[in-house]
A and B are shown apart, each in its own frame.
Chain A
Amino acid sequence: MTPETRHQLRSLDRALLALIDERARLLASVAATDPGRKPAVDDMLRRHEGLFPAQGIAEVFEAIDRHSASFAQERG
C-alpha cells in the first residue's frame, strides 16, 4: 500500500468515526423505546450498489444499533 492510499484510508476512517459519533449524539435525546432509533438497514441495502458486501453492511449497522442502546435516554 502506498503512503497516499494509507493516508486516504485514515481520513475515511476518521470521517466514519465522526459520523457514527454524530449519530450517537443525535440519539442521546431519543427515548430507548423509540422505533425510529433503528437504522433503516433494509432501505440502505436496497439502495446499495457499491463494493462492500450486503451482509457486512447489515452486520455493521446491527452493531451500531446494539451499541446505541447504551446511551438511549431513559424514558418511555
Chain B
Amino acid sequence: MILRLALGTAEESVQALRERLESAGLRVLRSPEEARPILAVAGKVPEKLAAELRTRAEVAEIVKPSGELLLVARAMRELPSVVDVGGVRIGGGEVVVIAGPCSVEGRELVLEVARKVKDCGAHLLRGGAFKPRTSPYAFQGFGVEGLRQLKDAGEAVGLPVVSEIMDASDLPAFLEHGIDCLQIGARNMQNFTLLKAVARANRPVLLKRGLAATAEEWLYAAEYLFEGGCEQVILCERGIRTFEKATRNTLDLTVLPLLREWSHVPVIVDPAHAAGIARIIPPLARASIAAGADGVAVEVHLNPEEARSDAAQALLPRELLGIVSDARILAAVTGRRLHP
C-alpha cells in the first residue's frame, strides 16, 4: 500500500502516521519526494487499520500497487524520476544516447571510439571490461585494466562511462576507477546478491531486463536496488527470448508505455542486443524513442568485423551519427529534447 499524504502535511503528522503503522508490525518506507510526503507500507495492512487510514485527514490518496512493487511504483513520485550520471540527466524529458564498444579492446582503440562517439553527439561512453560470454572460450574482457582504459578514455573526451559488473567482489574496482554508472546485465538481473551489493554503492545503476524476464520480474529486481538504498536506477530493455529466430532476441517495445504507467524509473532501450543485426538497429532506435524511451544504447566499433565481441551488431560511427540525428528530431516532435 502506498499512502500519498496531503500537500503541506506537517512532519510531526508524517512521523505520527509512520509510528502508527510500525506499531502494527508493518515496515514503512518513505519516498525521497520533496513536494509531497509519500509512504510505502510493506506487508498486509489489517482491514481495521486500512479503514482507519481511509478516514485520516492527512492521507490524500491510497494506492494499491501491483504485488509488492512499492518503491519503484509510479505513485511514489510526483514526476518521473531523473537519474544523474556524471552530469548527464536521464529521464525527465531529455533523451540520451549511450554508445561505445561492446568490449574494451585496448587503450588506443577505446580512446579512438570515445572520440568518435563524442563527435557524433553521444552522451555516455559504454564499454565492457568484464564480459558475460556464452562460450567460456570467447573473449572475456580485460577486467580491471579494461575499466581503467574505459575511464581514461571517457575523461579524455569528457564523457561519463558505464560498464557491466558481474560479480560483487569486483565492486571496489568499479568504484576505485570511477565508473559513473554500474550496469547489471541481462544474465544477472535476478542475481540478488549482486543487486544488494550494488545498491549499497551509491552509484547510478543501469539494470538490463533479463532475457526471459517479465516486466514485473524486472521491476522487482529494480525494487531490490531501491530497497537497498539505491535511488538512481535506469531500466534497459534489450529484447527477450521468443520463438522468432530471425533476430537475436525480440525487442519488446510494448513494455515502454506500460512502464510509464507503472513506474517512475527512467527506461532506455538497447536495440543492438535485441536485433543482433547492425543494419536494423537504426529503425529500432527510432521506434524506441518514438515509443517513449528516455534514451538508446548502442555498440560502436571502428571496424565492426574485427570486434572481439558482438561484431554483427556493432555500428560504424556514421551510423551512430544517424541515430543521434534521428533522436534529436524524434525527441523534439514527441515533446522532449535531446540532452545537450
Contacts and interface: CB of A to CB of B under 8 A. Distances in A.
Question: Interface residues of B toward A: which range?
Answer: under 10
Interface residues of A, number: 7
Main secondary structure of the interface of B (DSSP, over half): helix
B333 A19 contact: yes
Contacts of A15: 332-333
B282 to A, nearest CB: 19
Contacts, number: 18
Contacts of B337: 22, 25
Contacts of B340: 25
A18 B328 contact: no
A21 interface: yes
A26 interface: yes
Interface string B46-79: 0000000000000000000000000000000000
B335 interface: yes
B338 interface: yes
A30 to B, nearest CB: 13
Contacts of B338: 22
Contacts of B328: 22, 26
A62 to B, nearest CB: 22
Contacts of B329: 19, 22
A25 B331 CA distance: 13
A15 B329 CA distance: 9
A18 B337 CA distance: 9
Nearest to B331: A22
A25 B95 CA distance: 14
Interface string B306-340: 00000000000000000000001101110101101
Interface in B224-266: none
Contacts of A21: 332
Interface in B153-175: none
B94 to A, nearest CB: 12
B184 to A, nearest CB: 33
Which of A15, A18, A21, A26 has its CB near the most chain B CB atoms (within 10 A)?
Answer: A18
B159 to A, nearest CB: 17
A5 to B, nearest CB: 19
Interface string A4-29: 00000000000100110110011000
Nearest to B329: A19
Contacts of A25: 337, 340
Nearest to A26: B328
Nearest to A12: B333
Contacts of A19: 329, 332-333
14 contacts: A15-B333, A18-B332, A18-B333, A18-B335, A19-B329, A19-B332, A19-B333, A22-B328, A22-B329, A22-B332, A22-B337, A22-B338, A25-B337, A26-B328
Closest 4 CB pairs of A and B: A18-B332, A22-B332, A15-B333, A19-B332
Interface of B: 328-329, 331-333, 335, 337-338, 340
Given A18-B335, A21-B332, A22-B338, 14 more contacts: A15-B332, A18-B332, A18-B333, A19-B329, A19-B332, A19-B333, A22-B328, A22-B329, A22-B331, A22-B332, A22-B337, A25-B337, A25-B340, A26-B328
